[in-house]
């Protein structure tokens, strides 16, 4: 189980393969296999939506059975309409291409790149992965729809859109109903899937894989042995502090009065903070390390994030007085 938690991808970065990530990926594969055309993935911030997008993009590129166009949408609300569209095409063009920064034909370039890539891979499938899609404007959605139709009619290419983003902005029924036209919602946001967080009981699995999986750099070290060599030699493991991590995370959740879910990014941030500071602290014995684990969880940003979310929720539930 633990050996499958880390999945290396093309650029050497490692992705924590949590059960939540696996479930989202499997759901995505199910939709593609069943010839559906879009999927909406959403979650609160720091739950790892972007990580899932990167993982799916890497896996699909590795499979080389479809053209993968992955991008993060930018905030363009204050731009002119033409600039909004142009920014969209710019973000969709792969960053490692030889396109100049300024070109007036970005859309045509994108179409040509897709055509060449589809021909090279001998496929008729194009997967668009659009992260942070809460920034995509209505104009941009319409432009994407036209692009999709052009690919279908002229290039004979089938498209699949994985639209991912912040749950409060994308999945909120009122926004979807009021702001986004039904045609767009049906086209790009069907089959919604919420990315679940890590439960306190699941923290042990995350910490265990940090002890067991190889560090991406060469040398054969695990994450724990790489960052804390003496701690590793003394036989201590970060998974030994699972209970401390779990209790502390549970306490923060209880203080905030929210659900028993933690964003995966917070767990990793706490583990990283612990590993970076454990080496000098390890001479103080296990008590000092336990205190460090508590401090690491306290400073991982979860408490502040929950407090901010609570304030925002209070603001959005204020009664409106309209005459």
Partner 1 sequence: MIAPGWHPQWWHDGESVTSVAIKLAYSCRTDVGSVLNFLVQASASNRLPVMFPSASVARVAIERLGLPLESAKSLFAGIDKPNYQSRRWLVQALRWCPTCMAQRFHSWSFQDWRRTQCSWHDEPLLDRCPRCHVIVDPMQMRAWLCPNCREPFARQLGQDWVQVLKRAAAGQHRRLEADDPRLDLEVLDSQDSRKVRILSNGIEPIADQEPDQSWNEAAWFRWHAWEQASAMTDSALHDHRDCVVREWVAGHHEIAITTYQCPLAAALKQALAWMGTQHEMSDGWPTSAMSSTTVWETYLCHLQDVPRWFVPVIAREVFIEWVACAAESFGESCTPTGGSHSWRPTPQIDLKWALGSTNSANVHVGAVTRRLPQILELGNTTCCNPYRTSPAAVAFNPVGLLARSQISESRTMKGNAAPTLLEHSCSVASDKLGKVCKTPSITHAMGG
Binding site for partner 1 (CB under 8 A): 10, 61, 93-94, 96-100, 103, 105, 108-109, 112-113, 115-117, 119-120
CB of 129 to partner 1, least distance (A): 15
Comparing CB distances to partner 1, the nearer of 13 and 304 is 13
Burial class (CB in 10 A: 0-12, 13-18, 19+), 102: exposed
Q: From the CB of 79, what's the least distance to partner 1, in Å?
A: 23
Give the pairing of strands 158-166 and 125-131. parallel
Q: How far apart are CA 257 and CA 306, in angstroms?
A: 9
Closest CA to 41 of 219, 172, 171: 171
- How many Å apart are CA 293 and CA 274, to the nearest integer? 6
User: Looking up tokens 């992955």, which residue turns up?
Assistant: 70
Least Cβ distance, residue 181 to partner 1 (angstroms): 31
Report the residue number, 4 or 119, with the smaller CB distance to partner 1.
119
Q: Shortest distance, CB of residue 72 to partner 1, whole angstroms? A: 17
Angle at Cα 156 formed by Cα 114 and Cα 150, nearest 5°?
Answer: 70
Pick the closer one to partner 1 by CB: 33 or 98: 98
Say whether 54 sits in a helix, a strand or coil.
Answer: helix
- Least Å distance between CB 92 and partner 1? 11
The pair of three-digit structure tokens given for residue 31, joined into one six-digit string: 């939709």
- Beta carbon of residue 32, minimum distance to partner 1 (angstroms, whole number): 22
Q: How far apart are CA 12 and CA 165, in angstroms?
A: 25
Nearer to partner 1, 41 or 68 (CB): 68
H and E: helices and strands count for the chain? 15, 7
Close Cβ partners of 144 (under 8 Å, ≥ 6 residues apart): 88, 128, 136, 161, 188
| Minimum distance from residue 117 beta carbon to partner 1 (Å) | 7
Q: How far apart are CA 48 and CA 68, in angstroms?
A: 20
Judged by beta carbon, residue 3 or residue 97, the one nearer partner 1 is 97
Is the CB of 43 or the CB of 60 nearer to partner 1? 60
Would you state the structure tokens that stand for residue 168, as one six-digit string? 């409060």
Closest to partner 1 by CB, 119 or 307: 119
């Amino acid at each position: 189980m633990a050996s499958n938690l880390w999945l290396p991808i093309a650029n050497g970065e490692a992705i924590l393969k949590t059960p939540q990530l696996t479930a989202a990926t499997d759901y995505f594969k199910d939709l593609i296999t069943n010839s559906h055309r879009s999927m909406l993935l959403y979650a609160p911030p720091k739950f790892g939506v972007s990580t899932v997008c990167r993982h799916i993009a890497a896996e699909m590129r590795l499979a080389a059975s479809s053209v993968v166009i992955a991008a993060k949408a930018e905030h363009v609300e204050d731009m002119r309409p033409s600039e909004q569209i142009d920014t969209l095409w710019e973000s969709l063009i792969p960053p490692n291409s030889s396109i100049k920064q300024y070109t007036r034909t970005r859309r045509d370039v994108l179409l040509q790149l897709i055509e060449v890539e589809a021909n090279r891979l001998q496929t008729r499938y194009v997967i668009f992965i659009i992260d942070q899609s809460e920034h995509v404007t209505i104009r941009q959605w319409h432009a994407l729809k036209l692009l999709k139709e052009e690919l279908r009619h002229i290039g004979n290419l089938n498209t699949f859109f994985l639209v991912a983003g912040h749950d409060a902005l994308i999945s909120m029924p009122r926004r979807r109903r009021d702001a986004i036209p039904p045609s767009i919602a049906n086209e790009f946001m069907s089959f919604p899937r919420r990315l679940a967080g890590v439960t306190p009981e699941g923290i042990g699995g995350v910490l265990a894989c940090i002890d067991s999986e190889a560090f991406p750099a060469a040398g054969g070290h695990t994450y724990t042995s790489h960052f804390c060599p003496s701690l590793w030699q003394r036989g201590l493991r970060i998974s030994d502090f699972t209970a401390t991590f779990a209790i502390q995370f549970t306490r923060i959740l209880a203080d905030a009065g929210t659900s028993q879910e933690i964003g995966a990014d917070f767990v990793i941030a706490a583990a990283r903070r612990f590993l970076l500071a454990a080496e000098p602290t390890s001479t103080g014995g296990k008590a000092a390390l336990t205190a460090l684990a508590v401090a690491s969880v306290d400073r991982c940003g979860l408490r502040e994030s929950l407090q901010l979310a609570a304030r925002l929720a209070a603001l959005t539930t204020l009664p409106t007085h309209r005459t």
